[in-house]
Amino acid sequence: MSNRVLDVWIPGRPRPQGKLQTFAVAGKAYGRHTDSTLSHRAHVISTLAENWGREPLTGPVRVSAVFTFARPKSHYGTGRNCDRLKDAAPEFHTQPADVDKLARLLLDSLEMAGVVRNDSQVWTLDAVKMWGRDDSTHVIVNFPRG
């Protein structure tokens, strides 16, 4: 018996949910995320909600996420080698964005999409960022075994 309750691919370049941009108006401080963060988060929430359609989960959940970034053309050869990775192409994606900030946007989106009642229910998180052909996020939500 599978404990998997959600398995969804979200197309598009993963975006982090970092710090708020702060500004003051008439002596009051305000904060907001960048437009690209807000737009991507809305896309993630919409995709999750379309694939969920049930009441929010209320117990502990395990979340696995793979954040895939399209390799730049500079990682590939030229001419007849345009589909071959260069020997110097990095194996691991260690450039920004930080994996914890990518996960923060995803976990908040799981709550906002109604998949979980509160993202504090995530008792374990496996998050990886990697190179690939296309930008995407793959999310799996499981109940714990037992």
- Domain ranges (residues) in the chain: 4-142
Per-residue model confidence as pLDDT tens digits over 3-41: 889 999 999 999 998 777 777 888 888 777 788 888 999
Per-residue model confidence as pLDDT tens digits over 67-78: 999 999 999 999
Pairwise CA distance, residues 102 & 12, whole Å: 13
Sign (positive/negative) of CA torsion 31, 96, 113, 134? positive
Instruction: Write down the architecture of domain 4-142 according to CATH.
Output: 2-Layer Sandwich (3.30)
pTM: 0.88
Of residues 1 and 6, more confidence is placed in: 6
What is the pLDDT averaged over residues 77-100?
Answer: 95
